[in-house]
Structure 1
């Protein structure tokens, strides 16, 4: 690793994310160093007053051994992270020099203890993930948390809809619907529906509606019919004014015929209409030529660019409506989504069989992930640590355990002093 050391998370560090541990470690480092300096001062001072009293010897022995112990532990602690006094002493700066091996060891530990299928299955065996998820999902249904869930759900749906390319998605959905419609044979399906409708007499309202539609169409186009009769009549008929009477007679006859067919269930024309419907149903089911014509008409309709533009307009209106509903405060899609989540949570809480199924699925999924991707996860951890520069790794580890290491220095100083006093007492006794 070369180049300038860069923090992994600059913004987090600026916000004080790593401030507490380094400050505490630095405080303990100063305390341990101060204790060592104090022992050195006591040792020098006691050496000057050894003749005043026999107890001064014990003080000097304590300070001398404490200095030795403190210096030894300072060397040991410092050698973990850097070279003491910058000297190229063998077996120092252990962590920076062995960074890659530490990374591999950490990765292997992670794999052996967390990412093997047997370990994952055993750890998840007693975990009721489904019930815990149900309690969490059902709890926010009320109060401020519920409102945040609703707002978040609505914003999530809205952001998702806005992130989609409307034209592209509309084209894809149109293509999908066209593919599905192209596979469906319309003629046999329509024939079956029409046959069932005739058998249940559900076609009679259809005939009545057709007759009324015909009457209303004639009524709406009376002027056009009169003009057609006037144009077809010869000059003598127009000169005598008989064309107007002829037009009135034709229209009156048509209205009378449609009225009779509408009110008389046994009218012959109604019977012809029913026969025509029955024949149409038969042809749709059994006539290949009719079926081919229907399929061709269907495919022509699907290939018509006008239909494509119409569908894009429909999709855009649907999408706009969904966006408006998703962002509607306290309701719409967000409320429906939140209520659905709460219902799901309630179901997970109260259905043991569902919990068993979901827990089994989660366990199998986790085991599958560990089996398939455990090696990749471990390799990612190892490669990530290896990419860190040595100074960063040292700072991370020292920030985590540096305070305890300074306690080791302090303990070494005090324990060394006690050992020195003991040795001095034994010598004095002998």
Structure 2
């Protein structure tokens, strides 16, 4: 080590100078130099002893209060751990340092640089595709089913049914449902095959009708006059006319029908036994293997759609990634309170995580120190701080020499 060589050289220089002055003739200048070299030699030896005593016994002699680092390695390790846990990594110091870093601004700058490169965007999309393909969807199905069942069992159905009914009436869903049913009925009744079916059923029922007297004669005459096509067309027109009347907003029959629909819905919403049976039916369906298969198919379809969307985005160079990032940045800039809240949550998470786990750093430090023997520990410390300590020896020799000159000059004077 270069500093150790310089320190040794300074001590040798002081010793050689002192010995040389012993053989020179008496002269004030020689006495002055001898005093300086003598004091420098003493200072150099004293600092050599002090520095050496930190790491080992000087000259291998077990002098008391030497080899201080090895004798106090546990105390030093515990002090370092205590300082690490209570001073360097305490909650206040971490929070203060993180606030100075301005996490959101720092993260935003880093993300801007990353998102700005096409290769990074493509890499992120590739990673997303790999993650999606490797997701074990079949293992999520039981969890999803259990979650649905738990939610159903913990849910009070009656308030939900009442609220749903109120919402349906307020928003006019019952009227829209009726209009949809009427429209579908009109489409079905208007089909030629429907007319043939209705005519066939009507003619069959007329033939089966057992009416006596004049009424029976009239029915038979009517049945003989009408065929399936005429009967079907007539019934179609009657039904379509009725449907058309029910579509009109002010039709009294429509109001009666809506009133009946609402009454039946209110009856269902207030029937706790019926709601519980419906709830049990839903729970049974949710636990059914067919439901699991259905959920798995839906999740696989969703995964395929997402993979296709990611592939399309890759072909476009990840422009939507840039757009999404810019949208988030604009929102954070516009919503200052939201940005501060997000930063505060991030700070709290980091601080709490470090505070909850910083003892692990101390435990790791203690474990690594315990694995090192005395020789390895001394070598490591000398490599880290030995160089600076050797300069103490150099300074001791030089300062001793200068002080010796001063003291000898005072004696001569």
**TM-score past 0.5 threshold:** yes
The 1:339–1:305 alpha-carbon spacing in structure 2 relative to 1, beyond 3 Å, is same
Give the C-alpha shift of residue 278 in structure 1.
3.0
| 1:6-405 correspondence runs (5 A) | 26-48=1-23, 50-51=24-25, 55-110=29-84, 113=87, 129=99, 132-137=102-107, 139=109, 144=113, 147=116, 151=121, 165-184=136-155, 189-190=160-161, 193-194=164-165, 197=168, 202-217=173-188, 222=193, 248-249=229-230, 251-253=232-234, 255-265=236-246, 273-274=257-258, 276-288=260-272, 290-319=274-303, 321=305, 325=310, 328=314, 329-332=317-320, 336=324, 339-340=327-328, 343-344=331-332, 347-348=335-336, 351=337, 376=359, 380=363, 383-384=366-367, 386-389=369-372, 390-405=374-389
In structure 1, the gaps of 5 or more residues are: 1-25, 237-241
Give the C-alpha shift of residue 178 in structure 1.
3.4
The 1:88–1:285 alpha-carbon spacing in structure 2 relative to 1, beyond 3 Å, is same
Give the C-alpha shift of residue 181 in structure 1.
3.6
CA contact (8 A) 2:54 2:67 kept: yes
The normalised TM-score by structure 1 is: 0.66
- 2:65 alignment partner, SS class: coil
CA contact (8 A) 1:66 1:415 kept: yes
Q: After alignment, is 128-137 or 411-420 more displaced?
A: 128-137
Number of paired residues?
386
Q: After alignment, is 359-368 or 246-255 more displaced?
A: 359-368
- CA deviations over 1:347-398 (Å, ceiling 9, x no partner): 44xx4x985997699689969986x888x56963773465252445434543
2 CA distance for matches of 1:257 and 1:185? 45
CA RMSD of aligned residues (A): 5.1
The 1:279–1:363 alpha-carbon spacing in structure 2 relative to 1, beyond 3 Å, is closer
- CA deviations over 1:77-134 (Å, ceiling 9, x no partner): 1221123344444332211221001122334445664677xxx56x689889399345
- 1:264 alignment partner, SS class: helix
The normalised TM-score by structure 2 is: 0.69
Give the corresponding residue for 1:8.
Answer: none
The 1:59–1:192 alpha-carbon spacing in structure 2 relative to 1, beyond 3 Å, is closer
Structure number, greater radius of gyration: 2
Give the C-alpha shift of residue 38 in structure 1.
3.1
2 CA distance for matches of 1:67 and 1:38? 9
In structure 2, the gaps of 5 or more residues are: 208-222
